[in-house]
Homo-oligomer: A and B are copies of this chain.
Amino acid sequence: MAEQPYDLVVIGGGPAGYAAAIRAGQLGKRVACVEIERAGGTCLNWGCIPSKALLKAAETVESIQHASDFGVSVKDYKVDFTKVMGRSRSVSDKMAGGIEFLFKKNKVDYFLGCGHIPEKGKIEITSGPDKGKSLAAKNILVATGCRSRRLPGVEVDGERVMTSREALVMKRQPKSVAIIGAGAIGVEFAYFLNTLGTETHVVEMLDRIVPLEDKDISSALSRSFKKQGMKVRPGTSVENLRIGDKSVTMDLVKKDKKETLEVETVLLSIGVEPNTEGLLGGKLKLKTDKKGYIEVNDRYETSEKNIYAAGDIIGPPWLAHVATYEAVQAVNGMFGHGEPQRVTLFPGCTYCHPQIASVGMTEDKAREAGIDYRVGKFPFSASGKAVAINQPEGFVKLIQDAKHDEILGAHIIGNDATELITEYVLAMKAEITSDEIHATIHAHPTMSEALAEAAASTHNEAIHI
């Protein structure tokens, strides 16, 4: 330890960790990043990025299946599942390499192994290629993220039972799958596998799929998934999972009805839990909440001075873009580059088809909060662009304060929803009213016109409905 201590050592190389390290590098700080597996973390290696590569393959299949609608006939097509999965891995490889390049460019020292904080100001690497190395740091940022939650007593073997991580390196396409948990990850895999021809059961304990979204969104997705041939089973709990050699059998319990389902594979997408094992030395304690998420103050500082935390490890909403934002804010604050901001407003995106994107309050939340609200809505079936490209499914729904026209929430389901939501996020961030959105000229013909029309519809001024 003859060397000068680092200004910052980041533990975790995911969207929080790598962004923090790069940002510190940009600010001219001496910085290191310790990553347990590979630069990019879960998002880039086991989450957002490789799953989008898979979904693009499914979209390609869908495009071929519907080619004749556009006058193109396809005699025969074949999905090479190994190649589909292989491309997804190679996209992760490429992006991980990109992060390593950015580390070099921004003079971030990169260590591979498990980062452990034996005491304040020190980091030891306790596994991996850099095992045994010890670093000194003026500041530490914990960005160790989360991992998929498992079911007690159910072994994840990657064949009969998978989490999203194992699903991203599936060796064979299952003939049938039960997806347990219909949040974003669950419905994305459901769309992917169903489109490729797997018999797909979507099982959700709560009373609707994508239960965090606005109720209208859940209904629309459910209708669409059923039309796509999936079995959608909300309000259903899974009991008595029996794992056999070639299949998994389970009881599906809905109110007082019970039925048995046998599938080749089960995919567990029932949420996440924090990665804190082996992080802290015996005497060091960071305050956490009941579920084990690290608590931070407005500057992202933990209960220990000079130890910060950001990203999934500080709790929901467990989104890569939120993690990155928090991490950059934490670093900016740490080094006196402006006052760090906590996250109040963020989009959520789900990349199945139809896509879902939302920001802010659902209608139920607005009602429960006793707000006098107004709803604006525009269906894509009335959009020239949507009809021209044969994507008339879905709608834009806007919740706004009836008094001040303030946008409280927005919910989109349909083609390109995940790109379209950005306009509303910016509007909410900048406190732009729906009138101003309506007064902004949207290009014709685009899907984005629907956002202006939904805004106009709150005052009954939409032209196309």
Which A residues have a C-beta under 8 Å from some C-beta of B? 15, 19, 22-23, 26, 43-44, 48-50, 52-53, 56-57, 60-61, 63-64, 66-67, 69-87, 91, 94-95, 98, 102, 319-322, 324-325, 328, 341, 343, 345-349, 357, 382, 384-385, 387-390, 416, 418-423, 425-427, 429-430, 432, 436-437, 439-449, 451, 460-461, 463-464
**How far is it, in angstroms, between the C-alpha of A423 and the C-alpha of B461 when the chains are bound?**
22
Residues of chain B contacted by A52 (CB below 8 angstroms): 384-385, 388-389, 445
* A445-B320 contact in complex given A63-B64, A388-B91, C-beta closer than 8 Å: yes
Give the residue of B48, B66, B421 whose beta carbon is less than 8 angstroms from that of A444.
B48
User: Could you tell me if B422 and A446 are in contact, using CB atoms closer than 8 angstroms?
Assistant: yes
Q: Can you offer 28 A-B residue contacts whose CB atoms are under 8 A?
A: A19-B463, A22-B463, A49-B387, A53-B388, A53-B389, A56-B389, A57-B71, A57-B72, A64-B74, A71-B79, A71-B80, A71-B82, A71-B85, A71-B87, A72-B78, A72-B84, A73-B78, A102-B463, A320-B444, A321-B443, A324-B444, A347-B442, A357-B443, A416-B419, A419-B446, A421-B443, A425-B441, A425-B442
User: Could you tell me if A387 and B441 are in contact, using CB atoms closer than 8 angstroms?
Assistant: no
**How far is it, in angstroms, between the C-alpha of A357 and the C-alpha of B445 when the chains are bound?**
12
Residues of chain B contacted by A430 (CB below 8 angstroms): 427, 430, 432, 436, 440
Residues of chain B contacted by A325 (CB below 8 angstroms): 441
Residues of chain B contacted by A439 (CB below 8 angstroms): 341, 429
* A84-B60 contact in complex given A418-B446, A446-B422, C-beta closer than 8 Å: no
**How far is it, in angstroms, between the C-alpha of A110 and the C-alpha of B432 when the chains are bound?**
37
User: Could you tell me if B421 and A423 are in contact, using CB atoms closer than 8 angstroms?
Assistant: no
Give the residue of B426, B437, B463 whose beta carbon is less than 8 angstroms from that of A328.
B463
Give the residue name and chain of the B residue nearest to A347 (CB): B443
Residues of chain B contacted by A347 (CB below 8 angstroms): 441-443
Give the residue of B49, B102, B422 whose beta carbon is less than 8 angstroms from that of A388.
B49
User: Could you tell me if A388 and B15 are in contact, using CB atoms closer than 8 angstroms?
Assistant: no
**How far is it, in angstroms, between the C-alpha of A82 and the C-alpha of B463 when the chains are bound?**
33
Residues of chain B contacted by A432 (CB below 8 angstroms): 426, 430
User: Could you tell me if B441 and A437 are in contact, using CB atoms closer than 8 angstroms?
Assistant: no
Whole-angstrom distance between the Cβ of A465 and the nearest chain B Cβ? 8
User: Could you tell me if A64 and B61 are in contact, using CB atoms closer than 8 angstroms?
Assistant: no
Residues of chain B contacted by A442 (CB below 8 angstroms): 321, 347, 422, 425
Residues of chain B contacted by A43 (CB below 8 angstroms): 444
User: Could you tell me if B384 and A463 are in contact, using CB atoms closer than 8 angstroms?
Assistant: no
**How far is it, in angstroms, between the C-alpha of A125 and the C-alpha of B389 when the chains are bound?**
36
Residues of chain B contacted by A44 (CB below 8 angstroms): 384
**How far is it, in angstroms, between the C-alpha of A57 and the C-alpha of B69 when the chains are bound?**
9
**How far is it, in angstroms, between the C-alpha of A56 and the C-alpha of B432 when the chains are bound?**
33
**How far is it, in angstroms, between the C-alpha of A420 and the C-alpha of B343 when the chains are bound?**
23
* A75-B72 contact in complex given A384-B44, A429-B439, A443-B347, C-beta closer than 8 Å: no
User: Could you tell me if B441 and A321 are in contact, using CB atoms closer than 8 angstroms?
Assistant: yes
User: Could you tell me if A72 and B64 are in contact, using CB atoms closer than 8 angstroms?
Assistant: yes
Residues of chain B contacted by A341 (CB below 8 angstroms): 439
User: Could you tell me if A77 and B67 are in contact, using CB atoms closer than 8 angstroms?
Assistant: yes
Going nearest first, the 4 A-B pairs with the smallest beta carbon separation are: A71-B83, A71-B84, A52-B388, A321-B444
Residues of chain B contacted by A72 (CB below 8 angstroms): 57, 60-61, 64, 77-80, 84
Residues of chain B contacted by A382 (CB below 8 angstroms): 98
**How far is it, in angstroms, between the C-alpha of A321 and the C-alpha of B449 when the chains are bound?**
9
**How far is it, in angstroms, between the C-alpha of A113 and the C-alpha of B426 when the chains are bound?**
45
Whole-angstrom distance between the Cβ of A359 and the nearest chain B Cβ? 9
**How far is it, in angstroms, between the C-alpha of A419 and the C-alpha of B95 when the chains are bound?**
25
Residues of chain B contacted by A320 (CB below 8 angstroms): 444-445
Give the residue name and chain of the B residue nearest to A48 (CB): B445
User: Could you tell me if A349 and B446 are in contact, using CB atoms closer than 8 angstroms?
Assistant: yes
Question: Other than the known A64-B72, A422-B446, A429-B439, what 10 A-B pairs have Cβ atoms closer than 8 Å?
Answer: A48-B444, A52-B445, A64-B74, A70-B84, A71-B81, A74-B75, A94-B387, A321-B442, A324-B444, A423-B426
User: Could you tell me if A70 and B57 are in contact, using CB atoms closer than 8 angstroms?
Assistant: yes
User: Could you tell me if B56 and A70 are in contact, using CB atoms closer than 8 angstroms?
Assistant: yes
Give the residue of B22, B348, B389, B427 whose beta carbon is less than 8 angstroms from that of A443.
B348
Whole-angstrom distance between the Cβ of A382 and the nearest chain B Cβ? 7
